[in-house]
Each structure stands twice: as C-alpha cells, then as structure tokens.
Amino acid sequence: MAMAGAVRCWRLGAGPSSLQIQALSLHMSKTAMGASQKDFESAMNQVKLLKKDPGNEVKLKLYALYKQTTEGPCNTPRPGVFDLINKAKWDAWNALGNLPKETARQNYVDLVSDLSSSDSSSQVKPEADRKQPGYETLVVTSEDSITKIMMNRPAKKNALTVQMYREIMLALEAASKDDSTLIVLTGNGDYYSSGNDLMNFMNIPPGEMEKEAKNGAILLRDFVGCFIDFPKPLVAVINGPAVGISVTILGLFDLVYASDRATFHTPFTHLGQSPEGCSSYTFPKIMGQAKAAEMLMFGKKLTAREACAQGLVTEVFPDSTFQKEVWTRLKAYSKLPRNALHISKQSIRNLEKEKLHAVNAGENSVLQERWLSDECMNAVVSFLSRKAKL
Ligand SMILES: CCCCCCCCCC/C=C/CC(=O)SCCNC(=O)CCNC(=O)[C@H](O)C(C)(C)COP(=O)(O)OP(=O)(O)OC[C@H]1O[C@@H](n2cnc3c(N)ncnc32)[C@H](O)[C@@H]1OP(=O)(O)O
C-alpha cells in the first residue's frame, strides 16, 4: 500500500545504533511539551528507515496523522466504491475529524517512536553477537530457529581433535534443549571435515596405548550415540570434501545438502581401520550391499552427484549458489510447526534406536583392536611423515 510522504521505503538500511539513537530522541520529544515541526520531519525520515513492515492498519494510521498534520481535517470527496485503497486512506483520515494539527503531529511522532523502538529490538544481530561463547574449535550460532554448529579448524581441514568431538557433543546437548527447530552441522573453509585428526594417535606414552584405545572407543561411542539419540532434525551442510567419520555419521542425519565440490571418502582399509558411525548398518541400507562395500571396504571416493544418486545425499547444489540456496531452503523449513517436526523425527528414529546403539557398540570394540594393530600404526606414521595422503 503506497502512502506518499507518510510511509515509504521500509527496507532502507540503517545501523541499529542510529535507529536506537533516533528512537530515543523521539521518545524524549514525546515526554516534552509537544512535538515540534523538526520532530515531525525527523519522524518522517525515521519511518523510511523502519526495517519491519508495520502492517496496513498502522500505515493507514500514519497516513491519516500525516494528512491531518499537514492539511488539517479531511477536505476531499470520498473516493468511489471500487477505489479500495484510496477509500481506506480517506476513511482513516476522515475518522480523525477535527483533531487539531498539533495533536496529530504529536500522535504521529509518538507512533513512530514506538515503532522504531520495537523495530530496533527485533533487528538481527551481527554473527559476532549471536555467537555462543565457550567453544574453541567450533562456531555455534542461532538465528531463524536454526542452530548452526560450524567446525572451525579450516587450516587443518576441520580434522576432528578429541576436544572437537567433546565440543560437538556439548553443542548438540545444548541445541537439543534450546528453542531451535533445526540443527545444522557444517565446516568452515574449503573442507567439510578431513575426519579423525591423526594426531589423536600421537604422543601416547609407551605402555599407555591400550588404555588410550579404550578411552578412544568410549569417546567414539558417546559421540556417535549423541547423533543416534538427537531428538530434532539434523541437517549436514557439506561445504566441501568429507572424509572418514564425517562421512559415516551422515547416515544418522535427516537431510544432507552438498556443494557440487564435495566428495565423500571412507578410506578405512587404507588406514588399517574399520567402519564406524553405524555405517556398517546404515550404508548397506541406504545404498545397497554392493555400493556400501565399494565405499567402506575398498575406499571408493564418491563425488557429490554419485553420493546423491546412491541416496547418501539429499540434494546437490552448484558451489557458486550453495550457501544461498541451502539457507533459503532451511529458513523455510524452520518455520514448519516445530512439535510436529520433532515428533515425526522421533517416530522414525525410535524404530531403529536400539539397533543403532548395538551397531555402534560393536563397531567401536572392533576399532579399539584395530587402533592397536601394526596396519593402523603404519598408516598413521606414513601420513604424519608425509609419505602418504589420501
Ligand atoms: C589411541 C587411539 C585414540 C583415538 C581417538 C579417536 C577417537 C575417534 C576415532 C574416530 C575414527 C575415525 C576414522 C576416520 O575419520 S578415518 C579418516 C582420517 N583422515 C584422514 O586420513 C585424512 C588425512 N588427511 C589427508 O589425507 C589430507 O590432509 C587431505 C585431507 C586429503 C587434504 O590434503 P591437502 O593437500 O589439500 O591439505 P594438507 O594435507 O596440506 O592439509 C592441511 C593441514 O591439515 C592437516 N590435516 C588435514 N587432515 C588431517 C587429519 N585428518 N589429521 C591430521 N592432520 C590433518 C595436514 O597435516 C596439514 O597440516 P600442516 O599444515 O601442519 O602440514
């Protein structure tokens, strides 16, 4: 609804601080003797800076007060029945009757002051302000009912350290209780994640290896357990290549969106290890026995499109528009009725939970043995001495 002079350009940019300052000065003028012509002009400018559309009813009120202030009581013939917009505007102005110009001006300034205050408090804070404190290896933010957990070791391709496994568990625990509808896991930089940080195997004192392998298996059981039990929809936003455990747990997500730059690689045999993340169960279910064996036993690396064709990925997007398209989609999904969405997720998952926990326990006890094998140690030493890369 266009209202010349009174309500225009709702989306013109203004920093929250300038809005707040102007709202405050309008509020101060409200409490003084009466609004001046300068206050009125400043309120008119302020209206143009509002980011949130106040709705037609308020716009009509503003229009009427503007006309009353500048021209006095309504003095034009009522528009015809089919001229709906102008008729609504005329009715709003006419309804002010003989309200004095000064009172109309004051009311206009007061109304804009109220609108500005609620507008500035509803503005989106910059990411730095929304960032949840307490994480060293992650950036966790919440916006639009979506909690985003971003792995944040881009220089190391988001390889997962022991601290990072723990922080992801903490972030998931917090997200399960916050008011978000969806939870996203993604990576910062060119990789989604290069999987387990192979440094986790280093600096273990002689004689401590068995104990550390046992602790590692407990950590892995708890980590994968968090994904099995997570009560809300989990979305993986795969911004680049994914390796090892960052791939295997995808079978426990509800949506997997991938950039066409992403690849999916589980080179367990090459590393002297064996599948985890419940993939020995979820992958054959998702893609069939033969394709799962190619990935999990023979380490075949899939492109994003191949992974999508096999059912591991929900949808692939061109890298150039990946973030924009995915976040637009997720923002729309986050507006779905929250409880219905969570209950649907839980109904689907509850059928499998017991089985998944049993698979997790089984995979981890095999891995605990594998970590003590020469095959595994040689592969780790090879990578760290730069003799081998994937
Ligand atoms: C006693 C047992 C305790 C165990 C406790 C753990 C419990 C949980 C275990 C769960 C098990 C999971 C299994 C897996 O995830 S298997 C997959 C393991 N990942 C790999 O093997 C990947 C190894 N990395 C690479 O092959 C390459 O780095 C790359 C990913 C192909 C990228 O190559 P590119 O040339 O582009 O880049 P760089 O190699 O130069 O990498 C940049 C720096 O990042 C370091 N990096 C990358 N990935 C890892 C990694 N996974 N572990 C350790 N470090 C990694 C790389 O060394 C470079 O560092 P630099 O700049 O300091 O040289």
Distance 187 CA to ligand 1 centre (A): 14
> d(Cα 367, Cα 273) in Å, to the nearest integer?
7
> d(Cα 93, Cα 46) in Å, to the nearest integer?
21
Nearest CA to ligand 1 atom 14: 244
pLDDT for the residue 25: 44
Alpha helices in the chain (DSSP H): 16-31, 37-49, 56-71, 84-94, 101-121, 127-130, 162-177, 209-229, 245-248, 279-287, 289-296, 304-309, 322-333, 338-350, 353-370, 374-384
Torsions phi, psi for 371 (to 5 deg) = -60, -20
Q: Dig out the tokens for 292 from the structure.
A: 């799962």
Nearest CA to ligand 1 atom 55: 156
Nearest CA to ligand 1 atom 31: 390
> d(Cα 372, Cα 191) in Å, to the nearest integer?
29
pLDDT for the residue 37: 92
Per DSSP bridges, beta strands 315-317 and 242-243 are: unpaired
Tens of pLDDT, residues 150-163: 999 999 999 999 99
pLDDT for the residue 364: 98
Q: Which of 153, 164, 166, 194 most suits a substitution to test ligand 1, by most atoms within 8 Å of the C-beta? A: 194
Q: In angstroms, what CA-CA distances link 305 with 263, 266, 291, 302, 315? A: 9, 16, 14, 8, 8
Nearest CA to ligand 1 atom 7: 216
Nearest CA to ligand 1 atom 44: 156
Distance 357 CA to ligand 1 centre (A): 27
Cα–Cα nearest to 230, from 164, 173, 168, 149: 173
Distance 208 CA to ligand 1 centre (A): 23
pLDDT for the residue 139: 97
Tens of pLDDT, residues 256-281: 999 999 999 999 999 999 999 999 99
Q: Which of 137, 153, 157 most suits a substitution to test ligand 1, by most atoms within 8 Å of the C-beta? A: 157
SS3 1: coil
Nearest CA to ligand 1 atom 40: 156
Distance 286 CA to ligand 1 centre (A): 26
pLDDT for the residue 375: 96
**pLDDT tens, per residue, the chain with 390 residues:** 444 344 332 322 233 334 443 443 444 444 445 889 999 999 998 888 887 788 888 899 999 999 999 999 999 999 987 888 899 999 999 999 999 999 999 999 999 988 887 776 655 566 666 788 889 999 999 999 999 999 999 999 999 999 999 999 999 999 999 999 999 999 999 999 999 999 999 988 889 999 999 999 999 999 999 999 999 999 999 999 999 999 999 999 999 999 999 999 999 999 999 999 999 999 999 999 999 999 999 999 999 999 999 999 999 999 999 999 999 999 999 999 999 999 999 999 999 999 999 999 999 999 999 999 999 999 999 998 876 667
